[in-house]
Amino acid sequence: MNRILAALAGLALAAPVAAHAQVAAAPAVTAASPAPAVQEATSRTPITVAEVEAAQRAWGAGLVAIAAANREGGPQRANAVALDALNRLYGFESGPVLFKPTLTRAPQTFRVTRESALAYFVGQDPAFPGDTGFALGDWRAVAIENAAVRVVGDMALTMGNVRITDGQGRVTSVDKTWAFQRDAAGNLRIVLHHSSLPFAG
């Protein structure tokens, strides 16, 4: 936890990058363009920017897959796909994930457990009556544009825009910050996920 807070404190010093990641429902995913990043060496195996971009594309593909499962098999099928995505992409096995979704409110703003995160993505949980299932929308593609990537040993922080396109071509844009950390098997896991709508004032 201290590594996350320390890395976040230094995020503002990261150099801008122009990383783009495009995700579509098709199995093939466009590779992200190379991007510079701030990287600090530690004794642990460092994360590469390419790994970070791959993890971001996997998140986008997961969202598109949940939406497709809902269209094709309904909420029950979507629930199974969402649970699989949470297990593959997030670090709930090692502890709480610092997850602040876009569309939550007090007293259930923060979703630090697998169950509460699942409720946000697919709803259907009476313990979270305000959740209608964000991932059940008719999402078809996800584009990610990083403003900066900062890699500190076995942890990477990203900040930027995520644009999600629905079946009618309408685009929803959110500001997103992620922190990724290696698990015991060497896979990147999301340990922090903050999402908000752009300021409209």
Give yes or no for a contact between 142 and 136, defined as CB atoms under 8 angstroms apart.
no
DSSP assignment of the chain equals -HHHHHHHHTGGGSPEEEEEEEEESSS--BPPPP---EEE--SSPPPPHHHHHHHHHHHHHHHHHHHHHHHHHHHHHHHHHHHHHHHHHB-GGGS--EEE-TT--TTS----SHHHHHHHHH---TTSTT---GGGS-EEEEEEEEEEEEEETTEEEEEEEEEEEETTS-EEEEEEEEEEEE-TTS-EEEEEEEEEPPP--
Across 12-21, 100-109, 153-162, least confident range? 12-21
Stretch 80-105: mean pLDDT = 94
Dist CA 184 CA 191 (whole Å): 14
Answer yes or no: is pLDDT of 197 > 50. yes
CA dihedral of 36, 57, 130, 199, whole degrees rounded to 10: 30
Q: What global pTM score does this model have?
A: 0.77
2-196: what CATH class? alpha beta
> Is 90 exceeded by the pLDDT of residue 177?
yes
Q: Residue written as tokens 């990058």?
A: 17
Question: Is pLDDT of 64 > 80?
Answer: yes
Domain residue extents for the chain: 2-196
CA angle 107, 118, 51 (to 5 degrees): 115
**Tokens in use for 95?**
């502890």
CB 149 within 8 A of CB 50: no
105: pLDDT confidence band, cut at 50, 70 and 90?
Answer: confident
